[in-house]
Amino acid sequence: MSTAKSIQIILARQLASCVAMPILLVDAVGTLIFYNEPAEALLNQRFEETGEIPADEWRELVAVEDEDRRPVLPEDRPMMVALLHRRSVSRAIWTRSGDSAWRHLQVTAFPLVGEGGQLHGVMNIFWEI
């Protein structure tokens, strides 16, 4: 069941729906609450079929390695850094979902902070390298 969304999150989804870059949108507790059509290829799933995915579940779906092909710890992933430390992160990664091919991507994650410093979530944007 979808819970009430803030206007910042609503507008972020609208933006993600209108651009060609893959975008993952998570809420303030890390639940994957939306991913756009370009991002469906990264996750090997369709949002219409999965709906929202809890944080611990969706992180298991995706393997992430750094430029030296070493696994990136969950707390060091850009989304988690943006969520936990409220700062933007941009780095190159290798990633794959399930048994799909590895993809070399640049990811930028930034927190959505509203009035009064309230954290609404994190937007993660990907570019092919």
> Which chain residues interact with another protein by CB under 8 A?
2-8, 10-11, 13-15, 17-18, 114-115
* Closer CB to another protein, 47 or 63, in the complex: 47
H or E stretch covering 79: helix 78-85
Least spacing, CB of residue 116 vs another protein, in Å: 8
Q: Which residues have CB under 8 Å from 33's CB, separation 6+?
A: 5, 9, 13, 25, 26, 27, 52, 121
Residue among 99, 109, 108 at smallest CA distance from 63: 99
Q: For another protein, give the closer residue by CB, 18 or 73.
A: 18
- Residue 96: CB minimum distance to another protein, A: 29
Least CB distance to another protein at residue 26 (A): 15
